[in-house]
Amino acid sequence: MNVLVINAGSSSLKFQLLDTQTGTVFAKGNCERIGIDGSFIGYTLNGEKGTLEVEMPDHRTAVGHVFDLLKGVDAPIEGIGHRVVQGGWYFPESAVVTDETLGWVREVAPLAPLHNYAEADVIEICRDMFPDLGNVIVPDTAFHYNMPEHAWRYALPRDVVDKYHVRKYGAHGTSHRYIWRTVNEFLGGEAHKVVSCHLGSGASLCAIEDGRCKDTTMGLTPLDGLIMGTRCGTLDPATVFYLYREAGMSIDEIDTMMNKQSGLLAVSGVSSDSRDVIAGMEEGNNDCKVAVEMFTYRVAQLFAEMAASMEGVDTMVYTAGIGENSDYLRAAVAERLGWMGVKIDPELNAVRSDDPRVISTPDSAIKVLVVPTNEELMIALDVEALLG
Ligand code: AMP
């Protein structure tokens, strides 16, 4: 089935048209600066890269341009899958778009206002412009929906929790689900207790026992857990009250600081990109060194937390930009987990490949893998399962 996967943001719209049977990607691209001057679409069509400078005052115009571009591909669109950041308390799994399910995406939007409103608008636009095509909602939180209550519940008064739906929702669920599926297939059913380490500019770990999420490091929002490119990760929550009262910062300023000006960027003082931070460390910059140490310390610490949630772990999987590419950070985290019996083979760790691969030694107590994630394929497969 040829599925168009759409990942809409407030000022961008990523797309990919792929075949679920072969995994062939016919086209992909990103509409950037929607609603802002200088908007353009960077794309790859039939293997050829291009850029289209077009006005995109709104998402409707962007969707129109994407469909026009896709006319240049010999693969008729048979269904559309929409990545939705927050499924809230409604989506234990992906769902076909109806008035009701689209209403749910809007109802839970206060939990992810920068994403859900734009995503809901784009779903509506697609339904409206192409009424013959089926649309599917694929929430990034769905995989975490059935975590045990002791993992998702926050120790806050029950009336507040219930009225405002304050709980752990997690994120990157579509990636973690793809990782489980791939590892299960690759290891022939040998993996049972897996910690999926999605380490990109956003980063989260997920404890997966026989395909079910037991816990994850992101919380009510994707700010929780690990130190990320520009996000601080877990802090004492009282830090917010302290800064509000003593530093005179507004809630919006604290929000922006913690999401956009913290993490590797703040500690290194150099960059949010792990490559720049590692390069800085190698040149002797001590702030970069501390940033790298904090990052690997937190990944190792939360890895052990995820293992505890399953009372064991047999498989560790690295994925996303850092997990797939940084042999240095993979080795540095593994070294901190030496006490758990993790041993990686330096030669296997140095291999560069787009295929799933084992990088641990045969005597490692925990098998360590690198598996490139593919959220778009996972979304497309959900569309096929629900519409095909
Ligand atoms: P993502 O959000 O998954 O695209 O990941 C972005 C992160 O991946 C950035 O911190 C990059 O530094 C890191 N990354 C991407 N490519 C490489 C690479 N070849 N080596 C090391 N880190 C990389």
pLDDT in tens, 88-123: 999 999 999 999 999 999 999 999 988 999 999 999
Do 122 and 192 lie in one domain? The reply is: no
Of 139, 174, 208, the position where a domain reaches its end is 139
DSSP secondary-structure letter at 145?
T
Domain span at residue 250 reads: 187-370
Nearest CA to ligand 1 atom 17: 325
Residue 99 counted as domain residue: yes
Is the pLDDT at 359 greater than 90, yes or no? yes
| Ligand 1 centroid distance, CA of 51 (Å) | 23
Which of 19, 58, 128, 140 is catalytic? The answer is 140
Residue 243 counted as domain residue: yes
Confidence label for 388 from pLDDT (cuts 50, 70 and 90):
confident
pLDDT in tens, 196-219: 999 999 999 999 999 999 999 999
CB-side exposure of 184: number of CA atoms within 13 Å? Answer: 13
Mutate to test the pocket of ligand 1, among 199, 201, 265 (most ligand atoms within 8 A of CB): 201
| Ligand 1 centroid distance, CA of 268 (Å) | 16
Residue 157 counted as domain residue: no
| Ligand 1 centroid distance, CA of 322 (Å) | 4
pLDDT in tens, 161-198: 999 999 999 999 999 999 999 999 999 999 999 999 99
CB-side exposure of 198: number of CA atoms within 13 Å? Answer: 27
Do 102 and 239 lie in one domain? The reply is: no
CA distance 212 to 194: 10
Nearest CA to ligand 1 atom 15: 321
Do 216 and 293 lie in one domain? The reply is: yes
Q: 362 exposed, middle or buried (CB, 10 Å; 0-12, 13-18, 19+)?
A: exposed
How much is the pTM?
Answer: 0.96
pLDDT in tens, 54-78: 999 999 999 999 999 999 999 999 9
Task: Name the CA dihedral angle for 123, 124, 129, 135, rounded to a multiple of 10 degrees.
Answer: 40
287 near 270, Cβ under 8 Å? yes
Span 286-292, mean pLDDT?
Answer: 98
> Hey, what are 234's tokens?
């877990």
Give the count of domains, the chain: 2
State the pLDDT at residue 10. Answer: 84
Residue 378 counted as domain residue: no
Do 219 and 324 lie in one domain? The reply is: yes
pLDDT in tens, 300-318: 999 999 999 999 999 999 9
Residue 173 counted as domain residue: no
Q: Which atom of ligand 1 is nearest to the CA of 277?
A: 12
Residue 151 counted as domain residue: no
Active site residue 140: yes
Span 294-304, mean pLDDT?
Answer: 98
State the pLDDT at residue 114. Answer: 84
Q: Which atom of ligand 1 is nearest to the CA of 272?
A: 10
Do 282 and 133 lie in one domain? The reply is: no
Of 139, 171, 198, the position where a domain reaches its end is 139
| Ligand 1 centroid distance, CA of 366 (Å) | 24
Residue 328 counted as domain residue: yes
Do 17 and 132 lie in one domain? The reply is: yes
Residues contacting 95, CB < 8 A, separation 6+: 101, 136, 137, 386
| Ligand 1 centroid distance, CA of 157 (Å) | 40
Residue 181 counted as domain residue: no
- Mean pLDDT across the chain: 96
CATH number at residue 30: 3.30.420.40
Give residue ranges with CB within 6 A of ligand 1: 200-201, 229, 273-275, 320-322, 325-326
